[in-house]
Amino acid sequence: MTQSNQELCFAELFQEHYRQLFGYVYAIIRNYTDAEDVVQQTSLILWKKFDSYQPNTNFFAWACGTARFEALKFLRGQRRYRAHFSEAFQLKLATAMTGIRPEVISIRAEALEDCVQHLPENQKTVLHQCLGGTKSVAVVAQETGRSTHSIYSSLRNIRHKLLDCVDQSVPGDIGK
């Protein structure tokens, strides 16, 4: 394969699977901006080792191996700044994600974005502060004058509400 053909092939495959790869990384990182950075770093690594990719195999599965490694490396570096799930749990989550069809990840991610937009403002604020930002639950609790238990309870309720919303938004034949 010529250099030009290789570049074109990589660009097409990466573009085709970008949303799924981003969704996969976001499921591990749980921060939009950080997930974008990790996917960008992953893309550079994937390009450097693209000659090891076997044509006509599952590009998404191949890319997820590198993405998982980069996401976990990122989280190890962030651990001192805020609490995260254990690396073992994140690895199990990432492994489970590779078993989900890419189109399902994309459809459910779009539904989730829409469902988050329909949350009341106070719930969106708590969600973004705790899961999308750099603040810990303890800091958010202190800033809002609530207990950490109250914040965790709100996050649990929001999670259930979002799961129900996504399940109702996605046609039954698409699957979970």
- The segment(s) of the chain belonging to CATH 1.10.10.10 are 100-176
- Predicted structure pTM score: 0.50
CATH architecture label of 1-99: Orthogonal Bundle (1.10)
Burial 32-44 (b: 16+ CB within 10 A, else e): eebbeebbebbbe
CATH T-level topology, domain 100-176: Arc Repressor Mutant, subunit A (1.10.10)
Model confidence over 58-83: pLDDT tens digits? Answer: 898 899 889 988 998 888 877 654 54
**Band of pLDDT at residue 170, cut at 50, 70 and 90:** confident
